[in-house]
């Protein structure tokens, strides 16, 4: 009996290492509740996928979710002895399907990268369970409907990229109260006016391009001076003047306000934006003189102001490495608008006040 007992114990010991060593060595642990929940979530997601041309989810079966393609595991933040699903990266998967409610079971997820797929529908409200979600990139999909307000309830979110989708309707102003580092809303069908609290947003990159923006560009944008590096508001139909306060954005390197209906002058305060490298105000209804301070900016190497009604430019603007002054009203420059067009435009009121935006003194 004693021999038999000893023998079984030895065998158990042997099997313990034989079975678990390979798992342990690849950062796997026996299944825990977190991984079981992840398994339920990922199987539900696989069901919700209608086409997977690159067979990325082909290996999404069995309990070892950490071995699934695109699924990344790490020790849980609140219990490092447990492995959990911390990231999912299906970028460029061309996957068709929807995002099921079960994704809310992935409560330890920090990164969710789904860019360049063909997910339809919207972001499920259950994502509010993802208290650790730090980066959410669902760009270049076919998501639609109203602004996915669940993103407003994610306390750890710092990077939000929902560009190139079919979201429509308004953009909630409280979005700009979130502690985000980067915000990409471009290439959707949002219709909104930029709220006064935009200045509360600590983002370094803000891209609104190719949505529809009504109302005025608020002067409170100057409150982003400590953090904002890139501001892209091209092709939004924005009809406003450019508030002189914009010159306080001294960390800004890229400012693109092109393809809008901006009126009035280019504020001379832009000459204070000492970090500016690229400035594009082309295709607007701006007029007046190009302030010489702008063309003196030490880092400015690309200044595009074509297709406006400017009538005077300092010669040094023409020494900027890449500049474009076509289709304005400069008397001695090539490729300008016909004088009759300039005269007709400049005879009409085109100040800030004429469009209902309040000009700052
Ligand atoms: C997809 O991947 C799985 C697992 O990697 C494999 O078994 C299956 O044959 C693949 N299917 C196709 C159509 O390539
Ligand atoms: C900003 O620009 C304005 C107008 O060009 C100028 O009067 C002002 O002194 C500048 N402010 C700073 C801080 O450089
Ligand atoms: C300058 O900016 C314009 C528009 O923003 C862009 O089309 C052009 O390619 C840029 N030129 C260089 C040399 O980067």
Token code pair at residue 158: 């710092």
Question: Can you give the pLDDT at residue 279?
Answer: 98
292 lines ligand 2 (CB under 6 A): no
pLDDT-above-70 percentage for the chain = 90
Return the residue whose CA atom lies nearest to atom 4 of ligand 2: 269
Return the residue whose CA atom lies nearest to atom 13 of ligand 1: 55
Q: Return the residue matching tokens 């930029």.
A: 194
Distance set, CA 11 to CA 4, 6, 24 (Å): 10, 9, 20
State pLDDT tens for residues 95-134.
999 999 999 999 999 999 999 999 999 999 999 999 999 9
Based on its alpha-carbon atoms, the radius of gyration of the chain, rounded to whole angstroms, reads 27
Helix (H, G, I), strand (E, B) or coil at 314: coil
The length of the chain is 361
Q: Which secondary-structure segment (H or E) carries 12? A: helix 2-25
CA 57 to centroid of ligand 1, rounded, Å = 9
CA 164 to centroid of ligand 3, rounded, Å = 22
Question: Can you give the pLDDT at residue 170?
Answer: 97
* Domains of the chain with bracketed CATH: 32-159 (3.80.10.10), 170-346 (3.80.10.10)
Question: Can you give the pLDDT at residue 358?
Answer: 59
Distance set, CA 345 to CA 74, 183, 205, 281 (Å): 62, 36, 35, 18
Best residue among 52, 58, 68, 69 to mutate for probing ligand 1, ranked by most atoms within 8 Å of CB: 58
The β-bridge partners of 278 are: 254, 302
Give the global pTM: 0.86
Neighbours of 9 (CB within 10 A): 10
Return the residue whose CA atom lies nearest to atom 5 of ligand 3: 280
Contact 233, 262 (CB under 8 A): no
Token code pair at residue 121: 């529908």
CA distance 192 to 255: 20
Question: Can you give the pLDDT at residue 350?
Answer: 74
Give mean pLDDT in consecutive 10-residue pieces for the chain, a chain of 361 residues: 33 33 41 92 96 96 94 95 96 97 96 98 97 97 97 97 97 97 97 95 97 93 97 95 95 97 94 97 96 95 96 93 94 93 87 65 37
Q: Which secondary-structure segment (H or E) carries 50? A: strand 49-51
State pLDDT tens for residues 242-263.
999 999 999 999 999 999 999 9
DSSP state of 344: H
DSSP state of 226: T
Question: Can you give the pLDDT at residue 29?
Answer: 41
235 lines ligand 3 (CB under 6 A): no
148 lines ligand 2 (CB under 6 A): no
């Amino acid at each position: 009996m004693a021999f038999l007992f000893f023998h079984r114990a030895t065998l158990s010991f042997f099997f313990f290492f034989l079975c678990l060593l390979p798992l342990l060595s690849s950062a796997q642990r026996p299944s825990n509740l977190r991984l079981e929940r992840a398994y339920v979530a990922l199987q539900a997601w696989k069901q919700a996928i209608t086409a997977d041309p690159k067979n990325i989810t082909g290996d999404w079966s069995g309990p070892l979710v950490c071995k699934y393609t695109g699924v990344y595991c790490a020790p849980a933040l609140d219990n490092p002895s447990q492995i959990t699903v911390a990231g999912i990266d299906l970028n460029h998967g061309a996957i068709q399907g929807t995002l099921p409610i079960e994704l809310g079971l992935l409560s330890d997820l920090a990164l969710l990268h789904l860019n360049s797929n063909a997910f339809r529908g919207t972001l499920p409200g259950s994502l509010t369970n993802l208290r650790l979600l730090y980066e959410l990139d669902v760009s270049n999909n076919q998501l639609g409907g109203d602004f996915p307000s669940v993103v407003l309830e994610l306390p750890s979110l710092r990077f939000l990229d929902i560009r190139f989708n079919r979201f429509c309707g308004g953009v909630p102003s409280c979005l700009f109260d979130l502690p985000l580092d980067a915000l990409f809303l471009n290439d959707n069908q949002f219709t909104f006016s930029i709220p006064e609290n935009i200045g509360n947003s600590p983002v370094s990159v803000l891209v609104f391009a190719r949505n529809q923006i009504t109302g005025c560009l608020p002067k409170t944008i100057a409150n982003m001076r400590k953090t904002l590096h890139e501001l892209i508001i091209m092709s939004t139909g924005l009809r406003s003047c450019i508030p002189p306060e914009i010159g306080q954005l001294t960390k800004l390197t890229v400012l693109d306000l092109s393809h809008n209906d901006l009126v009035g002058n280019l504020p001379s305060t832009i000459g204070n934006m000492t970090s500016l490298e690229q400035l594009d105000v082309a295709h607007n209804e701006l007029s007046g003189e190009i302030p010489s301070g702008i063309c003196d900016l030490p880092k400015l190497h690309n200044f595009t102001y074509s297709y406006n009604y400017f009538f005077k430019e300092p010669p040094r603007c023409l020494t900027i490495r890449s500049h474009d002054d076509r289709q304005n009203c400069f008397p001695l420059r090539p490729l300008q608008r016909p004088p009759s067009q300039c005269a007709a435009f400049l005879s009409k009121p085109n100040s800030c006040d004429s469009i209902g935006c309040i000009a700052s003194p």
